[in-house]
Structures are given as structure tokens and as C-alpha cells.
Amino acid sequence: MNLEILKHQLVPKHEILSSKEKREVLKKFNIEKEKLPRISVSDSVVKVIGAKPGDLIRITRKSPTSGKAIYYRFVVEG
Amino acid sequence: MTIKLPEKIEKEVKKYFEDEKIPEKERKQIEEKVIKLYKEYKYSPEEPVGVITAQSLSEPATQLTMRTYHFAGTAGIQVTLGLPRMIEIFDARKSPTTPSMMIYILQEFQDIEKVKKIAEQIKEVKVKDVVKTTTVDMTDLWVKCKPDMSKLKRYGIEMKTLKKKLKVRDGLVDVDEEENVIIVKLKKKDIAGLYKLKYNFLETHIAGIKGITQVIVLKEGDEWVINTLGSNLKKVFNVEGVDTTKTFSNDIFEIYSVLGIEAARNSIINEARYTMEEQGLGVDVRYVMILADLMTFEGDIRAIGRYGISGQKSSILVRASFEETKKHFIAASISGESDGLRGTVENIMMNQVAPIGTGSFELIGRIPEKKKK
């Protein structure tokens, strides 16, 4: 059942970024990681994909206006 | 700099080319024009979209019905709509007044009999739903129940398993399989507790999923779905035949705990949009999206209002201008907070140029050096 939540219509694709990709994203937006939107380690999806605090997650959303939208969330404790 | 069109617009342009059989030469021109228009319609940097969002959402919200109506005689489940539902969503209430689920069924189970069976499995069954008669004996202090055997059979409950399942506070349950009666004896010799025992016993849950009080089988397009009153996603996902990729609830906090924050964001958008559209009000999704992004920014669901986003802003003047002015000023002066005057509201109060639009930049001119003679 745990893996099944990733297939749910409401859940967009979550990916953990490698440290190289992470640096690139932070450089692209010229932002510190603490200022990015957050996601908790206890979040159901984070548990399934196994991300740890400090990771950056790329979320590929289906958007009703633009078709595809990319969003980033920073994994925090809590 | 070249601007890339969003996926959706690009697809639409391509589809237009194919449908209208536009020659190759003109395609490039049209594409350039689309890009030009797209650029024009984009919000410019530093545009105060938050203020625009607030106005675009609250004006239609004034048109929403204050109270929900009850339609007598219609099939379906009556869910809170209109303004009360809107307040529920944006205040991030822990549970909606009328929790409801829409359960989709897998292709293999798309048969009215099978769907009805799933619906019966899901619906909560209490002792009172299967009992024909109850008798209370005041002298010997017991409650006797005669269950309806046909109903027990329909819900798939056997007399043998009943004894294990039934547990009542202050009572001892005894099942007589030969005569098909259930006797509950009171532990303490206390007449006052007898009616309470009867009530507790009749309210005991024996089958189905707790909290789901109503189920209705509906036809949506050409597939059967189950609409419920009461919500418990986790348990429903474990029922055989339920499509776990589509089934959803209107309880945003439940979606958050089962499917995570991104699903909760999508759910906020869908619920807010549905409530607006149901009342015939068109609000652009973009505004609802901004609001949902803001509510889920911290990784959990925050309300919009005093205890949520507005109450947690960093600037004292902004917090004080919203609600509870004195409280914020007193707390700030005790702890010696300072305000950097970086936001819009603070600067408007101070009669300064607010950092929005062209106010976000400062122009420094270079004075040309005087020519040496």
C-alpha cells in the first residue's frame, strides 16, 4: 500500500536531487536553501522515497494552466 | 533571451497547425506571434500578485450563499457548500462538517452487484442495525437482543464470531448460538447503569469502516462509483476492488496525512474550485493556486488568518494592521522587536514608496564628467 500512494492522481512526481543538481538549482534561483518551500520528513511521500533532512526534492506537477510545472521543496525535520 | 512556451500552449499551437493544415512557411510567423503575446500577458516582475489574488477571490466570495440548502428527496449525499465550505477550506479546519469520500472502483469490479457488495463492506454496521428486538430486565439486570438473521447474513457476520467482536463497557456479553440471542449482563449491580449499557451496546461497531454512516452507489459517466458520508481513506484503500489511484476525500487533513503535502495542495485547489464553480462563479485557477501554495509552504497546512499565515508574518506593523493591534504592539515593545520596513503594508503606513512594481528598484544615474578644457 505504501508504494501505491505514489500512483495516486493527487500525488505528483517527487525526485530527490543529487548534490550536484542541488547546487545548480540553488545557483539558478540565487537563493539559500532555507528560503525554499519546505516538506517534512514525516510526510507520507518523503517516507516512501526515503529522503532525509537536507535533501532537495524536485516536484513535477501537472498544472491546469501550463501543462507541467516544476517546484522544489527542501526536506526539514518535523 | 528566447522564451520557451509552456507545454500546454505549445501543444495547442501544434494542434492548431495540424488541424488547419498551415503551411510550413507561416508556422514560424505564427509561433513568433504567440510568443510575443505570451510575453505581454505575463505578470511583470515585482507585480503585487498577492493583493490581486486577495481581491479576485474575495469579491466572488461575497456572492456565495451564506447558508446551504437542503434538497428533500434527491439521491446523493448532502455536503456543506457555499461560504461555510470556503471558510472551512481556508481556515484549515481539522475536519470538515460533512466529511465525504468518492470511491472509484477498479475495472474488474465494474458490475452493479459487485459494487453494491463493496459498498456494504464499507458501510459502518452497529448492533442496532442488525437487531430485531431488545428487552431490558430490571430485576436480573440484563439486556437481551434478538438479531435479524437475514441482515447478519447480508453483512457477512456469523454468530460464532460475534462473541469475540462485541465488547461493551461495564458489560459481559454472552452469545447463545442455539436460540440466536445475545445477552449482556451488567457487571456492577447498579440499576442506573442499565440503560446506559443498553445504549452503549446498541452503538457498538461490529462490521464495516468506523465513521462511514451513509453509502450511495452512483453512476458517473459509464462507471459505478460510491459516494459516502464519513471519511477514512486509509481503511478504504485496503478494501478489495477500490481504485487506489483515484479515490479521494474532501477532508484535506486526511489527504495530507495519507498522501502527503503535495496531494493536500491539489486537494485545496480542487475543493476551492469545486465550491466556486458549484455556485456558478468563475475564478481563475491561478489565484487559487497561489493561495494553496502559500498554505502549504511550510510543509504542513496553515490557515489563512489570525492563527495562520497573517499571524506569523515577520513585520510587527503588518501583524498589528491585520487583527489584535494592541496585543502585537505590546508584545513587540516588551521584547524590543524592530521592523525593517521591507514590505508593502509597512511602507504604505509610513507614507513611503512601497517595494512593488517600479518601487522595487532604485535608479542611480551616472553624472557625465565635465569635459576638461
Position B372 in a domain: no
Does residue B340 sit in helix, strand or coil? coil
Position B108 in a domain: no
Tell me how many domains chain B contains.
4
Does the beta carbon of A77 lie under 8 angstroms from any beta carbon of chain B?
Answer: no
Of B283, B8, B297, B256, nearest in space to A63 by CA: B8
Position B240 in a domain: no
B11, B261, B293: which to substitute to probe chain A, counting the most A Cβ within 10 Å? B261
Q: Tell me the residue type at B327.
A: K
DSSP B359: G
- State yes or no: pLDDT of B2 exceeds 90: no
- State yes or no: pLDDT of B67 exceeds 70: no
Does residue B261 sit in helix, strand or coil? helix
Contact A16, A10 (CB under 8 A): no
Under 8 Å CB pairs connecting chains A and B tally to 90
The CATH code of the domain that includes A10 is 3.90.940.20
Query: Average per-residue pLDDT in chain A?
Result: 89
Task: Please name the residue of chain A whose CA is at the shortest distance from the CA of residue B295.
Answer: A37
| Domain closes at, from B175, B207, B239 | B207
- Domain with A51 in it: 3-76
Neighbouring C-beta atoms of residue B162, cutoff 10 Å: 18
Range of lowest pLDDT (A17-26, A38-47, B196-205, B259-268): B196-205
Q: Are residues B148 and B192 in the same domain?
A: yes
> What single string gives the DSSP state of each residue in B38-70?
HHHHSPPTT--HHHHHHHHHHHHHTTS-SS---
pLDDT for B185 equals: 78
- State yes or no: pLDDT of A73 exceeds 90: yes
- State yes or no: pLDDT of B73 exceeds 70: no
Distance from C-alpha of B200 to C-alpha of B208, rounded to nearest angstrom: 18
Q: Are residues B139 and B203 in the same domain?
A: yes
Does the beta carbon of A61 lie under 8 angstroms from any beta carbon of chain B?
Answer: yes
Does the beta carbon of B342 lie under 8 angstroms from any beta carbon of chain A?
Answer: no
Q: pLDDT tens digits, residue range B290-333?
A: 999 999 998 889 998 888 888 888 888 888 888 888 988 999 99
Task: Please name the residue of chain A whose CA is at the shortest distance from the CA of residue B262.
Answer: A11
**Cβ separation A38–B293 shorter than 8 A:** no
Contact B212, B228 (CB under 8 A): yes
Tell me how many domains chain A contains.
1
Contact B316, B337 (CB under 8 A): yes
Q: Residue A2's pLDDT band (boundaries 50, 70, 90)?
A: low
Position B244 in a domain: no
Neighbouring C-beta atoms of residue B307, cutoff 10 Å: 12
> What would the mean pLDDT of A53-76 be, rounded to a whole number?
90
Q: pLDDT tens digits, residue range B125-176?
A: 888 888 888 888 877 777 888 888 787 777 777 777 777 777 777 777 777 7
- ipTM reported for the complex, 2 dp: 0.94
Q: Are residues B266 and B289 in the same domain?
A: yes
Q: List Cα–Cα distances, B46 to B129, B298, B355, B356, in angstroms.
A: 61, 22, 8, 5
- State yes or no: pLDDT of B69 exceeds 70: no
- The set of cell numbers assigned to A50 is 526515503
Q: pLDDT tens digits, residue range A14-37?
A: 999 999 999 999 999 999 888 899
The residues, any chain, with a CB within 8 Å of residue B162's CB and separated by 6 or more, are B175, B182, B206
More confident: B185 or B74: B185
The residues, any chain, with a CB within 8 Å of residue B20's CB and separated by 6 or more, are none
pLDDT for A59 equals: 93
pLDDT for B29 equals: 87
Q: Are residues B350 and B335 in the same domain?
A: yes
The residues, any chain, with a CB within 8 Å of residue B114's CB and separated by 6 or more, are B105, B241
- State yes or no: pLDDT of B71 exceeds 70: no
The CATH code of the domain that includes B144 is 3.30.1360.140
A67: which chain B residues are within 8 Å (Cβ-Cβ)? 6-11
The CATH code of the domain that includes B68 is 1.10.1790
Of B71, B100, B90, nearest in space to B272 by CA: B90
Q: Which residue has the cell 431488545?
A: B134
> What would the mean pLDDT of B234-263 be, rounded to a whole number?
90
- Domain with B36 in it: 7-41
Q: Are residues B292 and B308 in the same domain?
A: yes
> What single string gives the DSSP state of each residue in B221-257?
TTEEEEEEES--HHHHHTSTTB-TTT-EES-HHHHHH
pLDDT for A74 equals: 93
pLDDT for B79 equals: 78
pLDDT for B289 equals: 92
Percent of chain B scored above 90 by pLDDT?
12
A2, A5, A10, A14: which to substitute to probe chain B, counting the most B Cβ within 10 Å? A10
Closest in B248, B260, B266 to A44, CB measured: B260
Q: Are residues B262 and B323 in the same domain?
A: no
Position B216 in a domain: no
E strands within B156-239? 171-176, 181-186, 205-207, 214-220, 223-229
Position B163 in a domain: yes
Contact B238, A20 (CB under 8 A): no
Rg of chain A, C-alpha, whole Å: 13
pLDDT for B39 equals: 87
Looking at the DSSP bridge assignments, the partners of residue A39 are A75
Nearest-Cα distance to chain B for A39, in Å, is: 4
Q: Are residues B134 and B197 in the same domain?
A: yes
> What would the mean pLDDT of B86-111 be, rounded to a whole number?
88
Of A3, A4, A8, nearest in space to A62 by CA: A8
Query: Average per-residue pLDDT in chain B?
Result: 84
Does residue B365 sit in helix, strand or coil? coil
Nearest-Cα distance to chain A for B247, in Å, is: 8
